[in-house]
Amino acid sequence: MPSDLEKAMETLIMVFHRYADTEGSKASLNRKELKQLMETELSSFLKTQKDPAAIDRIMKDLDSNGDGEVNFEEFVSLVVGLSIACEQLFQKQKQSAGVKKH
């Protein structure tokens, strides 16, 4: 039976390939695939991005090898950044909840 952590890692791979496999190279997300992934999987994050060119900016930020596509390693760096930001928020909420109790 896979552990919670193993299931989460498997989900990262499955979600990436759910979009990367739709067209072109199955090993990377082109712009359209990245847009679909973000609109479906990260819609709340995307809504916080006021910049209408957010997708293009994120694509450029992620595409560290400059091939115009986002491979799994580049995609995971987005997940890492978002997870770290969420965990810091989680810590702050825990601390402020702890302060209210005293």
Going from the C-alpha of 77 to that of each of 1, 12, 102, the distances in angstroms are 27, 11, 38
Is there binding between residue 15 and a second copy (CB under 8 A)? yes
Say if CB 27 and CB 71 are below 8 A apart: yes
Is there binding between residue 53 and a second copy (CB under 8 A)? no
Say if CB 50 and CB 30 are below 8 A apart: no
Residue from 56, 61, 67, 73 binding a second copy (CB under 8 A)? 73
Annotate each residue in 29-48 with x if it binds a second copy (CB under 8 A) or - if it does not, as one string.
--------x--xxxxx----
- Nearest CA to 70 out of 33, 18, 23 is that of 33
Is there binding between residue 54 and a second copy (CB under 8 A)? no
The residues that touch a second copy, with contacts defined as CB under 8 A, are 3-17, 26-27, 37, 40-44, 72-73, 76-77, 79-80, 82-84, 86-87, 90-91, 94
